[in-house]
Amino acid sequence: MRTKMINKLSNKFLRSFIITLSLAGLLLNSCDSRPLDKKETVENDSSHDLPLRPNIVWLVAEDLGPYIAPFGDSTASTPNLNLLAAEGVIYTHTFSPSGVCAPSRAAIATGMYPSSIGANHMRTRSDSEATGVPPYESIPPPEVRMVSEILRINGYYCTNNAKEDYQFDAPVTAWDESGRYAHWRNRPKDQPFFAVFNFNQTHESGLFEPYGFKNSEKRHYQSGDRYYEIQPGQMAEEETPNHVSKDANFPIPPYLPHTETVRRDLWKMYNNIAEMDLQIGAVLKQLEDDGLLENTIIFFYGDHGGPLPRQKRLIYDSGLNTPLIIRFPGEQNPGQKNSQLLSFVDFAPTLLSLAGIKPPEYMQGQAFLGEHRAKQERKYIYGAADRFDEVTDAIRAVRGNRFKYIRNYRPEQGYYLPLAYRERIPTMQELLKMRDEGELDSIQQLWFRGKKDPEELFDCKNDPHELKNLAGDPTYADHLEELREEMDRWIVEIGDQPNLPEKELLEQLWSGHDTKPQTSEPQVTSSQGKITIECATEGASIGYKVIGTERVEPGGWTVYQKPFEVKQGSRLMVVADRIGFEPSEIIQIETTETH
Q: Which amino acid is at 336?
A: Q
d(CA 248, CA 266): 10
DSSP letter string over 449-475?
A: -SS--SEEEEETTT-TT--S--TT-GG
d(CA 575, CA 522): 7
d(CA 66, CA 333): 21
Sheet of 336-338, strands arranged across: 177-178, 157-161, 193-199, 55-61, 296-302, 324-327, 89-91, 336-338
HEC assignment per residue over 384-398: EEEEECCEEEEEEEE
| φ/ψ of residue 474, rounded to 5 | -60, -20
d(CA 53, CA 193): 9
Sheet of 391-399, strands arranged across: 381-388, 391-399, 403-408, 455-459
CA torsion, ordered 89, 92, 98, 103, to nearest 10 deg: 0
Identify whether 460 is a catalytic site residue.
Answer: no
In angstroms, the Cα distances linking 142 to 347, 509, 586 are 20, 12, 21
d(CA 325, CA 89): 6
d(CA 78, CA 61): 13
d(CA 201, CA 208): 12
Say which of 31, 101, 460, 535 is annotated catalytic: 101
Q: Give the chain's length.
A: 595
Contacts 24+ apart (CB under 8 A), 225-229: 226/282, 228/278, 228/279, 228/282
d(CA 515, CA 281): 46
Q: How far apart are the first and last CA of the chain?
A: 44
| φ/ψ of residue 497, rounded to 5 | -135, 75
Q: Which residues are catalytic?
A: 101
